Chain A
Amino acid sequence: MCDTCGCNVTPGNENLVQAGGKLASTSSGRDSVEVLHGLLHENDHQAQHNREHFERHGVLAINLMSSPGSGKTRLLEATIDDLGRDKRIAVVEGDLETERDAMRIREKGVPAIQITTGSACHLDAHMVHDALHRLDLDAVDILFIENVGNLVCPASFDLGQQLNVVLLSVTEGDDKPAKYPVMFRAADAVVISKVDLLPYLGDFEPDRARRHLRELANAASLFELSAQTGEGLGAWCSWLLAQIPQRDQAAVGERSFTVTSA
């Protein structure tokens, strides 16, 4: 996947890998180094590298996150059924164990790379980078990265995606955005899934979920759908398609920049 596998240090980003910082002396006689780096500096650096790959190849990369069992894989199956003929989709699957989800996606005729994290509760940018080496990004329009089912840790690790999509199934309760603000604040779109079950629950109000999301100062698009019945799937797929042209323009921009600078 890396065109110039060095693998990632360029004049443009080498300042990111230098952890040096300015040296000064403290009153106690010790030396003090000002750093001002993110704690996940290494991950963020790798994520930026992944992002550059996606943009160079014109790939829309989506980090799909939710609790376990919210229907991420089911949503992907339904999305592939709807868009798979017109758009080239690929999936990176993150789970603690098993290849089950990747097998479900492959049955739809779509390439899927399974990352088994063992006991790790989230994907990080290095794991995704390794998986990308096993995909031909030139043959992909949309790459879904299905994160480990977990509403806490995945929110802290940038993977290089362009968009975060968070699923919230109606069986989980409409106050999840208030309970997990770090995750829902990071969402570019929220999908309320399994809405075909709403009549049986009675206590989940999509408007309440929307209000909790807005209270996080998040203007994210909100979709209510059922991958099982297909209800609401059209709006979700239209939104996805609308995100792709922006990536195409970015890719064209990247290419013309390369030509100019050569």
Chain B
Amino acid sequence: MHELAVCRSLLRQVERVAMQHGADEVASIHLSIGPLSGIEVPLLEQAFSIARAGTVAEGAELVTSLKGVRVRCGRCDKESAVTVNRLVCLHCGDWRTQLVSGDEMELTRVEINIPETVN
């Protein structure tokens, strides 16, 4: 259940962003997640609903964008959309590929509310 640990780390970052910009609340938190990150989005959402209590993100919406797994072949240089446990080139069959996307575990954007007096 490391999603809870991930969530706490995420919330500390969000709180820091909110504090630095003088925000009084966080409206939404945007994440980019790939299947090879080791993060299960439903578990992360569940953990978030618990971990956000008592933080500036208490009322925030968690918006996750799930990335597909894509590789680029080291031999034929073509890209393929693949599954998590078969990162093999679909064009020439070579296994020596580079991951193009699919291991993302990123906080991309935070929407906050900044009170007029601070602005």
List the one stretch of A26-34, A58-66, A131-139, A235-243 in contact with chain B. A26-34
Binary flags per residue of A33-65, CB closer than 8 Å to B gives 1, else 0: 111111111110000000000000000000000
Chain A residues within 8 Å of B17, by CB: 19-21, 33, 35
Quick check: A31 and B106 within 8 Å, CB to CB? no
Q: A33-B21, A179-B85, A215-B95 are in contact. Are A19 and B109 (CB under 8 A)?
A: no
A252 within 8 A of B: no
Which residue of the partner chain B has the closest CB to A155?
B38
Which residue of the partner chain B has the closest CB to A219?
B96
Partner of B6, one of A20, A35, A39: A39
List the one stretch of A5-13, A77-85, A104-112, A118-126 in contact with chain B. A118-126
Quick check: A121 and B109 within 8 Å, CB to CB? no
Q: Is the interface of B mostly helix, strand, loop or mixed?
A: mixed
Binary flags per residue of B9-29, CB closer than 8 Å to A gives 1, else 0: 110110011001101000100
* A contacts with B, residue count (CB < 8 A): 40
Query: In the bound complex, how far is the Cα of B20 from the Cα of A182, in angstroms?
Result: 34
Chain A residues within 8 Å of B51, by CB: none
B111 within 8 A of A: yes
Quick check: B85 and A30 within 8 Å, CB to CB? no
Which residue of the partner chain B has the closest CB to A175?
B85
Kindly list 7 other residue pairs between chains A and B, CB separation below 8 angstroms, not including A39-B6, A43-B9, A122-B2. A30-B113, A31-B21, A35-B110, A42-B9, A153-B38, A212-B85, A215-B88
